Structure 1
Amino acid sequence: MVLVVDIGNTRIKCAVYEVNTYIDSFVFEDSNAQNKFKNIFTTYPKIKDLVVSSVGKELDFDLKSLSKSITIHVVSHLDSFPFQNKYATPKTLGIDRMILASGATLLYPKQNRLVIDAGTCITYDFIDENDHYWGGAISPGFRLRYESLHQFTAKLPLLTFEESEIFFGNSTNESIHAGVVNGLLYEIDGFIDGFKKQYENFTIILTGGDTVFLAKRLKNTIFANSNFLLESLNQYFQYKIKND
Structure 2
Amino acid sequence: MILTIDVGNTRIKASVFEGNTSLENFVFDKNEIEKKIEKILEKYPKCSDLVVASVGSIEKQSFLTFENRLKVHFFTHEDVFPFQNKYATPKTLGIDRMILAAGATLQFPKQNRLVIDAGTCITYDFIDENDNYLGGAISPGLRLRYESLHNFTARLPLLTLEEPDSYVGNSTAQAIHSGVVNGFVYEIDGFIDEYRKEFSNFIIILTGGDADFLAKRLKNTIFANSNFLLESLSQTYQYKIDND
Range class of TM-score, shorter chain? over 0.9
Q: What is the aligned partner in structure 2 of residue 72 from structure 1? A: 72
Shift of 1:150: 1.0
Amino acid at match of 1:174: Q
Distance 1:13 1:32 in 2: 12
Q: Which stretches in structure 1 are left out of the alignment for 5+ residues?
A: none
Larger mean Cα displacement after TM superposition, 145-154 or 120-129: 145-154
Going from structure 1 to structure 2, the CA distance change for 1:96 and 1:228 (only over 3 Å counts) comes to same
Q: Report how far residue 15 of structure 1 moved.
A: 0.5
Is the Cα contact below 8 Å between 1:30 and 1:59 reproduced in 2?
no
**Residue pairs, 1:97-136, within 5 angstroms:** 97-136=97-136
Contact 2:2 2:16 in 1 (8 A): yes
Tell me how far apart the structure 1 counterparts of residues 221 and 64 of structure 2 sit (CA, whole Å).
42
Q: Which residue of 1 aligns with 2:40?
A: 40
Partner of 2:168: 168
Task: Write the mapping of 1:142-161 to structure 2, written as runs, cut at 5 A.
Answer: 142-161=142-161
TM (normalized to structure 2)? Answer: 0.97
* Cα deviations by residue, 1:199-243 (Å, 9 ceiling, x for unpaired): 122100000001111001100000000000000001101111111
CA contact (8 A) 1:122 1:138 kept: yes
Determine if the alignment matches structure 1 residue 90 to structure 2 residue 90: yes
Matched to 1:52, the amino acid is V
CA RMSD in angstroms comes to: 1.2
Shift of 1:163: 2.8
What residue in structure 1 maps to residue 63 of structure 2?
63
Deviation at 1:165, TM superposition (A): 4.3
* Aligned-partner Cα distance in 1 for 2:165–2:106: 36
Q: Given residue 128 of structure 1, which amino acid in structure 2 is its aligned partner?
A: D
Matches of 1:202 and 1:62 in 2, distance apart?
39
State the alpha-carbon separation in 1 of the partners of residues 60 and 36 from structure 2. Answer: 14
Moved more, 88-97 or 162-171: 162-171
The answer (yes or no) to whether the contact 1:4–1:233 under 8 Å persists in 2 is yes
Determine the C-alpha separation between the residues in 1 that align with 2:60 and 2:73: 17
Identity of aligned residues (%): 66
Query: 3-state DSSP class of the match of 2:26?
Result: strand
CA deviation string 1:53-72 (max 9, x = no partner): 00142237532324622000
Decide whether aligned partners of structure 1 residues 57 and 89 sit closer, same or farther in structure 2, where only a CA change above 3 A counts.
same
Report the equivalent of 1:182. Answer: 182
**Residue 19 of structure 1: how far off its partner (Å):** 1.8
Is 1:12 the counterpart of 2:3? The answer is: no
Distance in 1 (alpha carbons) for counterparts of 2:133 and 2:66: 36
Q: Distance in 2 between matches of 1:55 and 1:99?
A: 12
Paired position in structure 2 for 1:234: 234
Contact kept, 8 Å, 1:112 with 1:128, in 2: the verdict is yes
Matched residues in 1 for 2:172 and 2:157: separation? 9
TM-score by length of 1: 0.97
Alignment CA distance shift 1:67-1:132 (3 Å): closer
Number of residue pairs aligned between Structure 1 and Structure 2: 244
Aligned twin of 1:2: 2
Looking at structure 2, the residues matched to 126 and 93 of structure 1 have their Cα atoms a distance apart, in angstroms, of: 13
The CA deviation string for residues 94-146 of structure 1, in whole angstroms up to 9 with x for no partner, is: 00000000000000011110000000000000000000001100000011101
**C-alpha distance in 1 between matches for 2:149 and 2:28:** 28
